[in-house]
Amino acid sequence: MSGGAQPVPLAPEDWRYSEGGEIVNGVLGQSPTSRGVYFKHPQELQGGDVWSMRVTEGGGALVGFANEGLDVERWGETYQNTAWVELGDGTTVINSGISPDGEDHYHEDHLKDHIPETEPYDLALRINKDGNLPQIQFNNDCAWHDFAPGRAALSEGPYFPFLQLSHGDKLSSHSIVRPKATKSAGKAGKEAMAAKAAGAGASSASRPASSNARKTRAQGRSKSAIPRTVSTRQKSKKKTP
């Protein structure tokens, strides 16, 4: 899943959340009197980055992505800038503010059969590099599930981690894995640069020789009228291509 890269923890203190939210020993949750809390982390996610976490209690949680337009303190006015999976029943939503076509994509129980039946479990999310598809993975099962059928995607980023927690939900151990470039890709890039440099050097070295050769031929033609006359007659007999 990580391509050998090491996970980088998301700083718990950097989460921004609406009234009623709390973070205790790195565990995101809500106060007992709160009905629901919205969380957004300022860590920008690139295509291919994997956001992972541990779900201790998540029956009422929404997990997904937000764009710059989401303000957790103004959820009612900015919620359309989110895309998420409901961990209780597998319902998925890509809202109009983060959808390329400006439409809502709602799919009830879409991932219900993939959600683990027992807690705790591991969860991972990403936006893949091929088409900005939001995807989710459960318990490191090596299967990435699209938020919506038909390759419904997200509009251009940046993207940020987003959560809605309620009913005692507790999610912890949040981290980001940014896959490293493969060695073969790096080697190919270096070889291409070396070849380009070598080609440029060869081209540069050949130019003076080519120039001298043209100068020599021009001088030879100017010293003799006979070859020039013969050349003219020969050209007149050639067929026009």
Outline where 127-182 has alpha helix (H).
none
Low-confidence ranges of the chain (pLDDT < 50): 1-2, 185-186, 188, 202-241
At 201 the pLDDT is 52
The answer as to whether 116 is a domain residue is yes
**Mean model confidence pLDDT for the chain:** 81
The answer as to whether 229 is a domain residue is no
Q: Are 164 and 216 contained in the same domain? A: no
The answer as to whether 155 is a domain residue is yes
Domain stop point among 145, 165, 180 = 180
Q: Are 141 and 89 contained in the same domain? A: yes
3-state secondary structure of 215: helix
Q: Are 145 and 192 contained in the same domain? A: no
The answer as to whether 233 is a domain residue is no
Which domain CATH number covers 153?
Answer: 2.60.120.920
Q: What does the alpha-carbon distance between residue 55 and residue 169 come to, in Å, rounded to a whole number?
A: 8
Evaluate whether 167 touches 73 at the Cβ level (below 8 Å). no
At 33 the pLDDT is 78
Q: Are 219 and 189 contained in the same domain? A: yes
φ/ψ (deg, to 5) at 56: -85, -45
Q: Are 189 and 165 contained in the same domain? A: no
Q: Are 202 and 124 contained in the same domain? A: no
Q: Are 121 and 176 contained in the same domain? A: yes
Q: Are 190 and 165 contained in the same domain? A: no
Q: Are 175 and 215 contained in the same domain? A: no
At 34 the pLDDT is 80
The answer as to whether 168 is a domain residue is yes
Count of residues for the chain? 241
CA angle 56-167-123, nearest 5°? 30
The answer as to whether 234 is a domain residue is no
The answer as to whether 1 is a domain residue is no
The answer as to whether 2 is a domain residue is no
Domain range for residue 68? 8-180
3-state secondary structure of 52: strand
φ/ψ (deg, to 5) at 64: 175, -145
Q: Are 32 and 86 contained in the same domain? A: yes
The count of structural domains within the chain is 2
Q: Are 43 and 29 contained in the same domain? A: yes
Q: Are 57 and 12 contained in the same domain? A: yes
